[in-house]
Amino acid sequence: MIVVIQRVSESSVKIDGKVKGKIGKGLLLLLGIEDADQQEDIEWLSKKIVNLRIFPDENEVMNRSILDIGGEILLISQFTLHASTKKGNRPSYIKASKPDFAVPMYEKFIETLQKDLEKPIETGVFGADMKVALVNDGPVTIIIDSKNKV
């Protein structure tokens, strides 16, 4: 699993012109799933995200997690994170999981993340054409690949 984490002061996702998910201060997560991903990737990544200390403390040092600040999460599925650009100019998405595998993994990730965050999260819709808006706070953007956890 690959996740792009963006610290935001606000973020939202629209589908067919209607707001599907909206948050204030917190994290926008863009999640890519591949066939090699397993439950342990979900669990590790979820714990890493909720404990990642990227919010400022009273001294403006990034020393607080989303749990510490009571922030919100907006999760968006994004298969293009697994794009291969080695050959030519047209990305290949062969590494990205097909919906029959990816949808259940995405749903398990939502469930695990909500449990670790100890409250519901906002989401987009898997496979939908989504319009994502955000105000990146910092800016702070971090990329984590669960295959690089060791």
Active-site pick, 38, 39, 55, 79: 79
Task: Report the CATH number at residue 11.
Answer: 3.50.80.10
82-133 pLDDT, tens digit each: 888 988 899 989 889 999 999 999 999 999 999 999 999 999 999 999 999 9
Identify the active-site residue in 38, 39, 80, 141.
80
**Predicted pLDDT of residue 119:** 97
**How many domains is the chain built from?**
1
Whether 55 is catalytic: no
Q: Tell me, yes or no, whether 127 lies in a domain.
A: yes
Active-site position among 6, 38, 39, 78: 78
- Cα–Cα distances (Å) from 145 to 58, 78, 107, 116, 121, in that order, read 30, 14, 18, 19, 21
Q: pLDDT for 22-70, tens place per residue?
A: 999 999 999 999 999 999 999 999 999 999 999 999 999 999 999 999 9
Residue 101 among the catalytic residues: no
SS3 for 47?
helix
Task: Please indicate, yes or no, if residue 122 is contained in any of the structural domains.
Answer: yes
Residue 73 included in any domain: yes
Q: Residue 129 domain-assigned?
A: yes
78 catalytic? Reply is yes
Residue 107 sits at φ, ψ, to 5 deg, of -65, -40
In a domain, 149, yes or no: no
b or e along 26-39 (b: 16 or more beta carbons within 10 Å of the residue's beta carbon)?
A: bbbbbbbbbeebee
Mean pLDDT of 128-145: 97
Q: Is the pLDDT score of 20 beyond 90? A: yes
Give a yes or no: residue 150 inside a domain: no
Q: What is the pLDDT of residue 62?
A: 97
Domain that holds residue 112: 2-144
Alpha-carbon span 22 to 68, nearest angstrom: 20
